[in-house]
Structure 1
C-alpha cells in the first residue's frame, strides 16, 4: 500500500473551540502552521490530512477518513482529556497502528512515526485511558507551570507566547527530519517535487538497520543528509532543568544525532528502569547528565532518584568500555548560597559528583551553551593529525596555579618561564569574582596545558592537596596526554606546615622562602623543554 499523505492530524473537535470566540481554534492554527513551516523546511508542499467533520462514536471508520489514516506517513495526535475518552480518536490510533509497517520496516530505528502533541495535561483518573501505543512516548508538551500561580496552563497559540513557538519549532524540526529519512532513503533519486506516494510499505527503511552504516539520504533539493551516525544518551532530569535538557536535545537532533531515551522511563521497579537504561546506553557513544537542585522521582522499590540511577549505570558502562564517554553538567553556583540545595539526598549526590570524576567522564559547571558546545565536540570525529609546523603549535603551555593573594610573588616565576618561550597561563584561585564563572576555564587548562606548577604560598596544605587532586582529575575532564612536568613550588611566607610538606603526586617539590632563584626551576624547565614538541 502506498502512502498518500505526509501527516494525519488526529484530534477531538472540542479542542478546536476557541475560548475567546475567535474564528480559528487551536487545531486550526496548528494545522495551518505545520503546513507552512514543514513545507518551508523541506522545500516542497507537505500533504496533511485532517478530518473536518463531527462524527459519532458508532460511525464506521471508512471512506476518506479511513484512507487518510492508513495512507499517512506520520500521525500527529493532539492529546487532551477529551481525546483519550473519544472512541473515534482511539479508532484512528488503532487504524494507524494496524496499517503501519512491522517493526523491521517502520523507519528510523530510534524514532516513532507518531508525534504526540499534548495540548492539555491529563487528570490522574484519565491517564490510563491514553492509548497504549503512545503512552510511553515523551511527546511535545504544549503546557507548563504558570510562574505566578504555579498551576499548569496551556501555551497560547498567540504570536507572543514564546513557549508555544519554541515547542512548535521543535515539533517541526523533528517532523522534517523524519520525513527526510522516510521519503528519501539511501539510493533514492532526488526530485524537486517528490511525491509521498512513492514510498510504499515495502520501501520503508528498516528500523533494525544501524544508521551508523547507512548512506546519506538526498533531500528534496538534491543535497544528501546523513542519518544519525551515533546516539547520545541524554539522561532524564528533574523539572528545574527540563528546558536546559530540551536545548541540548534540539542541538543534537539538528546535527543529525539520535537522542535516547525516546520513551518515558518506567518507575514501577528498579529492574525495569535499569533494563531500559542499560539498553539505551549500550547503543550510545556518550551520555549527558544534567544535575540540579531537585532530587527527583525514584523507582517505586528504590530510594535512589532516577537521575542518580542513570548516572550510576552510565558509570558502570564507562568502566566496562573505555570508548564510552560521560558528560555531567551542573548550573553555575549549584550547592552555594546562590543556588542552594535543600534536599539532603541531593546534597550528598552533588558532593559525590564534584569529588569523584572518573576516567572517561567530565564535569562542567558552566553555561548551557558551553555544555552544548562540549557535547558537539565530544561527538565529532577526532581531527586528523597534522604536521606541527606552525610556531604557535610548538609553544608549551605551563599552567601556573596560585592564590590571588600571591600574584606579586609569582610574577618573577611567570617572567622566567616566559623567557624560556613557555606560554604561561595563570589561575588565580581565591578570586571571588572568578570562582563561580571560571571553573570551566580551570578545567579547560587542566585538559590542555602541557605542564603544571602549583605555588604553595598564602594557601594551606588542604588547598595544595585539592589542586594536586585536580591534576589527577584532568584525565576525567578529557585530558589525553600525561603531564610533561608537574611541580609544587613551596614559597614564602615560611611556616612549619610548609617545611614539613611532602608528596609523591608530582615529581618536583621546590622550596624557596627567599627571593626567586632561577636555578630552583632548572629541572622543571628541562623536563618541559625535553618533552616532544618543546622548544629548546
Structure 2
C-alpha cells in the first residue's frame, strides 16, 4: 500500500489555543513531540499532515497511512471532522487493514475525558490514548498543560513514546503488505500476555509493564477497548485469556470502574475470570496429563496506604484464591523486581521450568526439617549454626544463591512449604531484607503450605536492629544478641521438640 502521508493529524482549532499566554497550543506541542519521537523510533522523518475543520480533506483521509485524531467536545460535535474519521476507518476496514498486528491505524487521542464511543460507536473496540491524568486526591481529571514536569514525564511522555512505537509498527506492517511479503503473522501463545486493566492509581505502572513486554516482542492483550456491558466484557476477557500463557494483574488502592450490569469492577471481574481459567487449565492438565501452560502473577503495590474496606476484602480474596494453586502467585515487591520476575517467567519457562528441574529434589521425610534463611552477606557467619543443628540430628536446608532467579525463588518457596521450623540469621543484611523474609513467613500459606510451622525464630547479631512490631506479627522468637553459642538455640529447639 502506497500513501502520500505517513500520519494525518486531525484536530479542532479550538484545541490549539495558546497555553498559559504562550504562542504554542496543545496540538502544536503534540505535533512537534510526536514527529520527533516517530523519527527517532523509525530512523527516518515521517510525512505528517495537519488537518482541521476548515480544510477540505476528503482526499487526505484516503491518502494517509495512519490517522491520529485529537478528540474533544468541539471535534466530536463537528460533522466535517467526524465524517473524515468515519471515512478513513470504514475504508481501512473494508480492505482489512484497519487493524495490523493487533494495532489500529486509527489513533484515538483523548486530551480530556469524553465519551468518544457515543459519536463513533462502530470503532468503540479501538484502544484510546488518554493524555490526561486523574488527581489521586480529588479523583478529578486534569488535562496536561505542562509538558516537562515530573508527572508529565511519567504520564504524557510514556503515552507519547507508546504511540510513536505503535505507529512505527503499523508502518512496518503496511510496508510488508505493499511488497506482498506477508499479512499479519499469527503470534504464538507463549508470546502473548494478558495484562489486566488496573485502577487509576496503577495506570503508570501498567504502562511501564506493557511497554517493556512489547519492546521484548510480546503481544499484549487486551489490544482493544473492553466492552462496557458486563456479559460482553466477560466473553471478551475469556476469549483473550485463551490466547495467552500468562496473565498479569496490578492491584493498587483504586478498585476500578464498574461496567453496566455488574456490582464488581472491571479489575475484579478480570481477576475472577483469570482465576477460573487457571483452574480449568490446571484440571485439564491433571486429568489428561496435558502440557498447557498458563499462570498468573498478581502484583500488589508496596505503597498501599489509603485502602478502602472493599479493596481490602478484594485483596484478601486474591491472596486466598492464589494460595490454592502453584500457577498463581501474589507478589508485593518493588516494580523493578516484578519486571525481573516477569522476564524469568517468560524467558526461562518460569515456575513450570523450575518445578521440572527440581521436582526430583526432595526434602527428607523423617526428622524435623529446619530452614536456615540468611542473606548472601551472612553465609559464612551462619555456618556454625547450620553445623550445630546437623550435629544434633536435624535436617537443615539453607538458602541457595547460585542459579537462575526463578529457580531460586521456587526452591525458597518449596522450603517454606515443607519445613517444620524456620530460623532467620540476621547479621550484616539490612532491616528491609529481614522485613521481606518475615513477610515470606506470613505468605507461606500462599506458597501452598498446609500446616503451621512448629516454631519460627530470628538469630540477630544486633538485637537493636530487630523491629518488635514486625516480629510479633509472625509470632517469631528473637534469639542472639552476640556471637553464636549452642545454648542460644535452646528455646528454639525446645519448642520444636515440644
Give the structure-1-normalised TM-score: 0.65
SS in 2 for 1:252: helix
| Structure 1 counterpart of 2:132 | 143
TM-superposed CA distance for 1:235, in Å, is: 0.8
Q: Deviations over 1:468-517 (max 9, x none)?
A: 996674369xxxxxxxxx9967699xxxxxxxxxxxxxxxxxxxx96999
Q: Deviations over 1:394-416 (max 9, x none)?
A: xx9983369xxxxxxx9864234
CA distance in 2, matches of 1:71, 1:415: 77
Question: Is contact 1:182–1:205 with CA below 8 Å preserved after alignment?
Answer: no
Q: Is residue 343 of structure 2 the alignment partner of residue 371 of structure 1?
A: no
| Structure 2 counterpart of 1:525 | none
Question: Is contact 2:7–2:67 with CA below 8 Å preserved after alignment?
Answer: yes
Question: Is contact 1:233–1:286 with CA below 8 Å preserved after alignment?
Answer: yes
| Structure 1 counterpart of 2:7 | 7
SS in 1 for 2:103: coil
Q: Is residue 59 of structure 2 the alignment partner of residue 67 of structure 1?
A: yes
202, 206, 210: which one pairs with 2:183?
Answer: 206
Q: Deviations over 1:317-352 (max 9, x none)?
A: 112224111111111264xxxx25323x33222112
| Structure 2 counterpart of 1:474 | 447
Change in 2 beyond 3 A, CA 1:307/1:412: same
CA distance in 1, matches of 2:122, 2:370: 58
TM-superposed CA distance for 1:422, in Å, is: 7.7
Q: Deviations over 1:277-310 (max 9, x none)?
A: 1111111111111222333333333322222221
Answer 1 or 2: which has greater helix percent: 2
SS in 1 for 2:399: strand
CA distance in 1, matches of 2:335, 2:117: 36
Q: Is residue 36 of structure 2 the alignment partner of residue 36 of structure 1?
A: yes
CA distance in 2, matches of 1:354, 1:295: 16
Question: Is contact 1:76–1:114 with CA below 8 Å preserved after alignment?
Answer: yes
TM-superposed CA distance for 1:26, in Å, is: 1.9
Give the structure-2-normalised TM-score: 0.69
Q: Is residue 278 of structure 2 the alignment partner of residue 304 of structure 1?
A: no
Query: Structure 1: any 5+ residue segments left out of the alignment?
Result: 56-60, 186-198, 213-227, 386-392, 403-409, 427-439, 459-465, 477-485, 493-512, 522-536
| Structure 1 counterpart of 2:295 | 325
Query: Structure 2: any 5+ residue segments left out of the alignment?
Result: 283-292, 354-360, 375-381, 401-405, 425-438, 458-488
Question: Is contact 1:233–1:280 with CA below 8 Å preserved after alignment?
Answer: yes
TM-superposed CA distance for 1:171, in Å, is: 1.9
Change in 2 beyond 3 A, CA 1:353/1:53: closer
CA distance in 2, matches of 1:348, 1:44: 51
158, 178, 197: which one pairs with 1:236?
Answer: 197
SS in 2 for 1:144: strand
| Structure 1 counterpart of 2:121 | 132
| CA RMSD of superposed structures (Å) | 4.3
CA distance in 1, matches of 2:456, 2:137: 56
TM-superposed CA distance for 1:148, in Å, is: 7.2
SS in 2 for 1:320: helix
| Structure 1 counterpart of 2:412 | 446
Question: Is contact 1:156–1:164 with CA below 8 Å preserved after alignment?
Answer: no
TM-superposed CA distance for 1:454, in Å, is: 3.6
Change in 2 beyond 3 A, CA 1:352/1:156: same
369, 372, 379: which one pairs with 1:400?
Answer: 372
Question: Is contact 1:6–1:72 with CA below 8 Å preserved after alignment?
Answer: yes
Larger Rg: 1
Question: Is contact 1:398–1:425 with CA below 8 Å preserved after alignment?
Answer: no
